[in-house]
Structure 1
Amino acid sequence: MTRSLLGARLVDVGDGSLARITGVDAAAEVAPQRVGLTAGAVDSIWSSVEALYRTGAFPAVTFCLRRRGRIVLNRSIGYAQGGGPGESRGPHARLAEPDTPICLFSASKAVTAMLMHKLAEEGGVDLDNRVSYYLPEFTGGGKDRTTIAQVLSHQGGFPMFDVDPADGPETLLDWERCIELICAAPAENGGKRLAYHAITGGFILAEIIRRVTGMSFTDYLDTRFRQPLGMRYFTYGLDGRSRPRVARNYVAGQPVRFPISMLAKQALSADFSEVVDISNRDYFMDAVVPAGNLYSTAEELSRFYQMLLDGGRYEGRQVMQQATIRRAVKPAVRLRYDHTLKIPMRYSEGLMLGVNPFGLYGPMTGSAYGHLGFMNILGWADPDRDIAVSLLVTGKAILGGHLLALGQLLSTLSWQCRG
C-alpha cells in the first residue's frame, strides 16, 4: 500500500518492528570489536539505515559496510518486488535479501572507468591520447582533440546527444546507434566546461575497449574484475537465470515537476518515469549500457571498492596495480559547478570525489572516492576511515524527506568510523 504526503509516492513501512522484512548475512558479519568499532557504533549505523527505509521512499534497501577489510554489516530491508508505492503485498510479493541483485544505474560508471584504467595499465591505451586515435569517427563538431582523460573526468564536451522522439528512449539500448549519434554530436562550448556525461561517456569508453582488445565489453569486465573478484553478478545486463531474483525499480518520492523534470530529461535523454519503466524490462537487461546497467549486490560493490582500497589486491591476487589506482583516484577537477547536475562537483578520472567539510559521502570525506547512481545509490571507499561502503535502493526519488535521512546516515558513518 502507499502513504501519501503532499502528493508523494511512498511505501507503507508500517509502525512497528522491521525485523520481519530484514535480511541479515550473519555468517559474513564480524564482531565490531575486530575492526575497531563498538557494538553501539554499529547499532547506530544500522539504525540510520532503518531510518532511511522508514522515510517510505525505498521499497528495498540493501547495505554493506566493510571496515579494515572485514564485513561489519551486510543486510537488506523491504521488498524486492511487490512492495512499491501503489502495490499491495499479495502472494507474489518477494522480500529483498542481502544478495539480491540491483541495477546500479550511474554507479556503473566507476566500474567502466576502472576498466579503462586497467586497459591503460596493460598498455592498450594512453589516457592522455585523443579518443579519435582509437575511434577515427569521433571527430564530429570539434571533438577531434578530446582525450580519454577528459571523457573520464566529464570534460569531454559531449554530455548529451539527441535521441529522435520517434525512436523513443529504447535508442539508448542500441549500442551501434548510440556510438554513431555520439560521434556525430557537436562538442559543447568547445569541450571546455565541466558537465556530467550521464550516458555518452560510458559508450565511448566501452567502444574504445572493444576496438583495442577485440573482446566484447562484458568479456573484458568478466576477465579483469568479475572472475578475479569471485563475483556472482557484477555484470552489465542480467541473464535470464538471474532475473527472477532481481529487484524491481519504482518511481517514488515527491512528484518530479518543472524545472527538475526538464533537467532530469536532459541528463537522462528520456523522461524520469520512462527511465524507471525501461529499467524493469527484459530488453533493458538484455542490453549493455556501460554508463548505467551494471547489476550487483551491495556486498559485491563493497568488495570492488575494498579491492581499490587495498591497492588493487584481493585474496592475495594483484587485480590492479597500485600506481593505476593512484591515478584513478587523484583529483582531476577541483570543486566546480557541473553544468549537467547543476551543483558543484569534484571528479577524478572516472570517480566522484568527496569534499570537505561536507560532500557526497558525508562530512569531512575529502579523501573518499566512489560514485552515485540513480537515485541515492552509492558505492565508495574512504581511506581515512578504512571503509568500503555500498547503499543500494530501488525507489527513484529526487525530492523528499529521505534526503535528510540519507544525510544523517552519511554523517553517522563518518562519525562512528573515524580514527
Structure 2
Amino acid sequence: MTDAAALDTARATIRGLMARHRVPGVTVAVTDAERLLFAEGFGYADLAHRRPATTDTGYLWFSMSKIATATAAVRLAEQGRLDLDAPVSELVPEFVARAGDPPRLRQLLDHTAGAANPLPVRWVLPADAPDADVDAFARRVLARHGRARRPAGGPARYSNLGYLVLAEAVARVTGEPFTEHVERALLAPASMTATGYTPRSDAEDATGYVRLPRPLTPALRAALPAGIVGDRHGEQVALRPFRVAGPGYGGLIGTAPDAARLLRLHLADGTIDGSRVLSPETARAMRTITTPGRPFDLGLGWFRRPADRDAHPAFVEHWGTGGGFWNAMRLYPGLGLGVVVMANTTRAYDHHVLMTALTAAFAG
C-alpha cells in the first residue's frame, strides 16, 4: 500500500535535490516483483524547448547497461552455450593476460579479470553513426587497451573494458551482433520496448547537460569528439545526441519504467510477466556480493560500496554515469522493491537520499 504522505515527502525530496544540485530533469520509477508501483518525471528533458521530463523520456543508461550485459551472459551460461569458467582467451584472444592463471569469463562479470579501466571520455560517436562504426571503434579500444593491467583473481577493480570484452565474447559464442542478441534474448522477453542501443527518432530522449562555467566551454569542446558539444543554456551546456562506443559496458538508451522492468525481473528471481529469463538460483547469485574491491564490492554485475555493507535495509545497485547523464538503479531484496532514478546531469547528486525517500512510500 502506498503511503500518500511519504510519497509527497519523496516528491519534495526530489525537487529539493534537483534545486540544490541544479539538475535539469529527473525521471524515477519504483517497482515490486509483480508490477510498476510508481513512475514520474520532474523538471525538463530539454531546456531549450522547455520539454518536460516524463515517464516516456529516454536517457542514456551508461553503465547501468552492464546489468543487461551480465544478465545476457549468465543466461547463455544456463543454456550451456557460454562456459563462465573458461579462459577469456578462448573466445577473445585479443585480451592478453599477465603472468599467472588466465582470466576467466566469470571474472569479467565481477571485475576480477585484471582488465584496465581507461577513462572513456571520448568513447562516443554522433547519434547517427552506423552500427559498423560503433563496432569498429570498440575493436580499436580493445586493440589499444586489451592487455590486462593486473593478474586475474585479485580484488575487484571496476573496469568498463572488461564488459567490452564480455560483450565481444557473447557476440562470438552466439554468432550474432551483441546488440541484436541482447535485444532478442533479454529486452524483448522483458517487454522493454522503449529501450535499445540507438537513439529513438521520436524526440522523446533527454538532452544531456554539463554544468560548467562559461570560460571552460572551449575545454569541454576539446575533450569531446567534434560535434558533440552543443549550445549553452545559462550555466548548462547541452550535449548533442550521441552513441556510446561500446554497447556492452554502457550503450543502452531508454526509459526509467523500462529499467524498472529489468529490476522487476531480478526481484522476481528471473521471471517477468510469466516468462522465465533466468533460473532463481542464477538471479540470486548475481546479486550476492562475494568479492570485495574498489570502489565497489561485486557480485555478478550488481555492486555496492564498501561503506554500504551494513546498510539497513540491505541493497545492491548499479550506477550509470557519463557525459550529460547520472543514473542509478537499486534492488532491495528484503523489501521486494526496486528503484531507478535517471537524470540529465553530469554531476553526482545524493541518489541514496532520493531512493530512501521513495522506498519509505512503498515499503509498508
TM range (shorter): 0.7 to 0.9
Q: 2:312 aligns with which of 347, 357, 364?
A: 364
Equivalent residues in 2 for 1:182-261, closer than 5 Å: 182-183=145-146, 185-188=147-150, 192-197=154-159, 199-239=160-200, 241-242=201-202, 244-252=203-211
> In the superposition, relative to structure 1, how do residues 276 and 63 fare at CA in structure 2: closer, same or farther (>3 Å)?
farther
Q: Partner amino acid for 1:192? A: G
**1:332-358, CA deviations, whole angstroms, 9 ceiling, x for partnerless residues?**
313x4x1xxxx4x211011113767x4
- 2:360 matched to 1:410? no
Q: Partner amino acid for 1:381? A: L
Task: State the 1:285 CA deviation.
Answer: 2.7
Q: 2:288 aligns with which of 311, 330, 335?
A: 330
SS at match of 2:162: helix
Query: What's the counterpart of residue 92 of structure 2?
Result: 135
**1:21-68, CA deviations, whole angstroms, 9 ceiling, x for partnerless residues?**
xxxxxxxxxxxxxxx332222222222222222224311100011235
- Does the CA-based 8 Å contact 1:234-1:300 persist in structure 2? yes
Equivalent residues in 2 for 1:150-165, closer than 5 Å: 150-161=107-118
Equivalent-residue separation in structure 2 for 1:147 and 1:305 (angstroms): 27
Task: State the 1:309 CA deviation.
Answer: 0.6
> In the superposition, relative to structure 1, how do residues 46 and 157 fare at CA in structure 2: closer, same or farther (>3 Å)?
same
- 2:64 matched to 1:119? no
**1:196-249, CA deviations, whole angstroms, 9 ceiling, x for partnerless residues?**
10x20121011001100001111111111111122222212325x24x221111
Equivalent-residue separation in structure 1 for 2:119 and 2:18 (angstroms): 36
> In the superposition, relative to structure 1, how do residues 137 and 120 fare at CA in structure 2: closer, same or farther (>3 Å)?
same
- 2:308 matched to 1:353? no
Q: 1:314 aligns with which of 269, 272, 285?
A: 272
Q: Partner amino acid for 1:293? A: G
- Does the CA-based 8 Å contact 1:236-1:290 persist in structure 2? no
Q: Partner amino acid for 1:233? A: A
Query: What's the counterpart of residue 71 of structure 1?
Result: 36
TM-score, with structure 2 as normaliser: 0.82
> In the superposition, relative to structure 1, how do residues 329 and 212 fare at CA in structure 2: closer, same or farther (>3 Å)?
same
Q: Partner amino acid for 1:247? A: A
> In the superposition, relative to structure 1, how do residues 144 and 206 fare at CA in structure 2: closer, same or farther (>3 Å)?
farther
Q: 1:397 aligns with which of 347, 360, 363?
A: 347
Query: What's the counterpart of residue 295 of structure 1?
Result: 253
Query: What's the counterpart of residue 260 of structure 1?
Result: none
Equivalent-residue separation in structure 1 for 2:108 and 2:354 (angstroms): 32
Structure 1: gaps spanning 5 or more residues = 1-35, 84-88, 258-269
- How high is the sequence identity, in percent, across the aligned residues? 24
- Does the CA-based 8 Å contact 2:33-2:265 persist in structure 1? no
Query: What's the counterpart of residue 23 of structure 2?
Result: 58
- Does the CA-based 8 Å contact 2:97-2:103 persist in structure 1? no
SS at match of 1:285: strand
Higher deviation after alignment, 49-58 or 103-112: 49-58
Task: State the 1:370 CA deviation.
Answer: 2.6
Q: What RMSD over aligned residues (CA atoms) do the two structures have, in Å?
A: 3.4
Q: Partner amino acid for 1:207? A: E
Equivalent-residue separation in structure 1 for 2:306 and 2:6 (angstroms): 23
Following superposition, which runs of at least 4 residues in structure 1 exceed 6 angstroms of deviation? Answer: 272-276
> In the superposition, relative to structure 1, how do residues 169 and 323 fare at CA in structure 2: closer, same or farther (>3 Å)?
closer
> In the superposition, relative to structure 1, how do residues 355 and 365 fare at CA in structure 2: closer, same or farther (>3 Å)?
farther
Equivalent-residue separation in structure 2 for 1:320 and 1:230 (angstroms): 15
Structure 2: gaps spanning 5 or more residues = 126-132, 217-221, 231-237
* Highest RCO, 1 vs 2 (Cα 8 Å, sep ≥ 6): 2
Equivalent-residue separation in structure 1 for 2:229 and 2:157 (angstroms): 26
- Does the CA-based 8 Å contact 2:59-2:254 persist in structure 1? yes
- Does the CA-based 8 Å contact 2:319-2:327 persist in structure 1? yes
Q: Partner amino acid for 2:341? A: L
